[in-house]
Amino acid sequence: MIQTDHLTKHYQMGDNIVKALDDVTLHIPKGSFVSIVGPSGSGKSTLMNQLGCLDIPTSGHYRLDGIEVSTMNDNQLAEIRNQKIGFVFQGFDLISKLTAIENVELPLIYAGVGSRQREMRAKEALDKVGLSERIHHIPAELSGGQQQRVAIARALITNPPLILADEPTGNLDSHSGQEIMGLFKSLYQNGNTIVIITHDEHIAEQAQRILRILDGRIVEDREVS
């Protein structure tokens, strides 16, 4: 599913070069549930941006679902993100003036899917995350946990091979956080590939595999028993 090959990302900061990612070679097979942990500034978000096709590497290669991504232009990356990846962000990141169902439909709009199909699939996705009652509410009318579930429904709607979540429980109380993790687990059990970035060890332990990152390098890679 995910195959990186000596992936590096350097940032020029004045005279110094910050090695945000340093020679990361990584393989994540289809159907895995992986968490990436590390302290602040270790390069988690940088890795997420690479895996999420939001950015191209300074050097190295990245193959997602068998497609070489590291040399693509902006438009091609946008298309890959739309088709292959479902994003869940820390701040939920819903569009505030759109209702739950309109937010969920958004990736399908950019994929060029017709409105009837969109509505059907959005309802299905919201059903999966247990929010079929609240589809016409705007984000401000939903709790944090509910908003995050809308975001997950949005990530699911295109049936992407990869679901990427950056601190998905970071803004939630532990109870809602646990509910969201339960949702990810059931998605994993249904065969989705899930990568969660977190600095919460407790959350990380709930995945099937943990990757620890420090100063842009993978320093630990272990299966959770």
Ligand X SMILES: Nc1ncnc2c1ncn2[C@@H]1O[C@H](COP(=O)(O)OP(=O)(O)OP(=O)(O)O)[C@@H](O)[C@H]1O
Instruction: Among 14, 66, 74, 222, indicate the residue that binds another protein (CB under 8 A).
Output: 74
Which of another protein, Mg ion, ligand X, none has residue 43 at its interface (CB below 5 to 8 Å by kind)?
ligand X
Asked if residue 199 binds ligand X (CB under 6 A), the reply is: yes
- Compute the C-alpha angle 126/131/134, nearest 5°: 110
Asked if residue 212 binds ligand X (CB under 6 A), the reply is: no
CB of 103 to ligand X, least distance (A): 24
Strand-by-strand arrangement of the 217-223 sheet: 85-88, 162-166, 193-198, 33-37, 209-214, 217-223
| Binding-site string for another protein from residue 162 to residue 201, where x marks contact by CB under 8 A and - marks none | ----------------------------------------
User: In the structure encoding, which two tokens stand for residue 2, read together?
Assistant: 């995910």
Contacts of 121 (CB under 8 A, 6+ apart): 108, 113, 157
Site for Mg ion, rule CB under 5 A? 45
- Between the alpha carbon of residue 11 and those of residues 14, 17, 19, 155, the distances in Å are 9, 6, 7, 29
Residues that bind another protein (CB under 8 A): 49, 52, 54-55, 74-75, 78-79, 81-83, 87, 89, 93-98, 106-107, 109-112, 154
